[in-house]
Chain A
């Protein structure tokens, strides 16, 4: 289990007076302090970790957010921002001595502007609600994380969320135009707008994926795209994951960027098929779900090209959707992969490394060995187009040390991803889950630079501390520190 920073007993002692002070800013039911009511906020999507917050505050306006943050800043109280709490990396895990600042009351779509292909929304609006508000005009919001029913756009910005279509349409960072945010000092800052290039330094880019460590997002301007005229899915099975991997490489080498390109391994296919009956082939080692979108004439052409490439790579089965219902059925399996795996195991840990695609079969082989080493099963779903792996490690938290073993297994998988040229997290964020693995990918100098950037936004280290970085440094200390040749002068600083 990962450790969190020690709670400050002085702050914990002042809990009642802090709640009273917050009530003055956010009156009525906007402050939650009973244990029963706060239990909802105890954890996020990384359910193995739980912590009762000091107090929860649910402001309604940007001005209230600014006052809450200003109060926390002046009184040196930590703040954990929270959207819908669907983070899979523990990004919204509370702190015993920290205020949870929930943005659930920011749930309005403020403006839809078709002329400029954008919408201004509050951060608590769900990802799917944006698409639902514009789909009657043929528009949609492109990033589609699998939690899109529940997850909020504010959380998407904080985590730079992806989804199955981001190979072609980009991540959150590529689909937002502007932000309003509040710094811990209470200062309100607007970045970008409805124009394409924001001015000055690309702080919009830095905020996206900053996991609640830099500022609290209070408004987002998102790009809206016109839905492609047609989309069809081709479902191709392969006798080995290597063949499937080669097929993916050949498709891209042929200059084709599919709208989505997903891979599942045998255990995942079987779990899914039992659960949703998407009519997936069961006698294959790897299954590719490839969506091609655009005008019908283009899609037909691409389906043929992709089918030919699949045949060349020894596919054993191939089916193309002939109706919208069938297309959705083909996707239904993939989209239900996590709950399907949840049915065959009491608990699972969802990993999120990205690798250069051509190293896939090597990584899968390595993973099979690790599975034996740790004595736990693993099922794989994989955003094949962009190399983003989601190994699902199956365990039972009630059995001995299985959770600890699952965590070790996960860490080994991520080390393997980095070793082959990949990264620790493709779309779920570092949070607490991958925090202590950051040094596998970054040197002390790399991390010190990122932490100095954090200091530019929050020099008291009050916003979401204990996440992302394995070591807490005071900003003054970082300012003095000189990291020579990637090494700190004092490498043995205690890590929490």
Chain B
């Protein structure tokens, strides 16, 4: 049975790659790389090619407010943008890079899903509870996440639309994978690169540190304490066998915060970030150096000077808002992301991976230039928590909402920009709807996760009582 499932998994992975390749050879018909939903000023490959051209003509790649990405991406993808293969669409080599990035990302998701699942079920066993999916016939959550990531139309469009968000997503997943597997150098590299590429993943430092400190997602620690106390109480009555002793030791280990691995991670972070900064500094030596880099990348992200439409709400807001309120609202909107970081970290510290997922949803919703590539990432991660979130409310409503918005938004864009019969408000309306659906998703998933914890709490106490009662 399990083998059958595995076979199906690999077939569908292969299928998703084939779909991407087929779409890649018809880029002119789809014209996805020019869609505002796919290519933002930060992720557009066309702008990257312009930056590379400027650099090749011995100008700063950031001259001309065109390119706002990392110089490292320029060295990786830049040469590929100018190599053309006769008779094939432009940027074919770049698209291969994005396809590979997608597949690697999915594989990492799968691997981290497996790790999470085994860790979770072993901890549930400690509490004397069973993992539900172990004996069920559905796909393991890692496989599910990988398939959701690969087959999600958003991911496919972002990949075929030549958006560099595939690489950003890969870096985020890499850091989560490294943290789950407790590979400090890998996790640090992923985190540093993700932060370097798009700034917002910087807040993932908290979940990654929690992952290193406490280990992967687990039921609330209070339950383990309860359980431990219960075991201690019962030790006199029940015979002291070696197994029980082991369980007790594990329980005591679980509740400690391992400072050593965190320090290890932080050391690697420092190393990688200084390395990246040195590389960027060398690349931009003649063009203003690191100051220029920070001004043109992070400054561009934080001050939102580009008002071209995208699927977020901020472009229209800053196109319309009065100029003297501009800086105030910039602070408020970016503060909104930071403000919720601490409450979430306090409440979900026993589930660092889920915490990372929530952070990713929040910043891909509130970031200055969102694209479907960001949504693709959190939808893939959502697959990892399929078991815990199976009681989530409004899931059907949410799915229909996503489908509706992703159909309506291009229509409204076409009406406004191409036909001139619509109005900017039409498109903004779909952007608002999209933001609302994302809000519902994040609120409901957090609420479902907390409810799941409550259920575990109840079950565990009931079990304790049940054991104590006879």
Partners in one complex: no
Residue positions of A touching B, CB distance < 8 A: none
Residue positions of B touching A, CB distance < 8 A: none
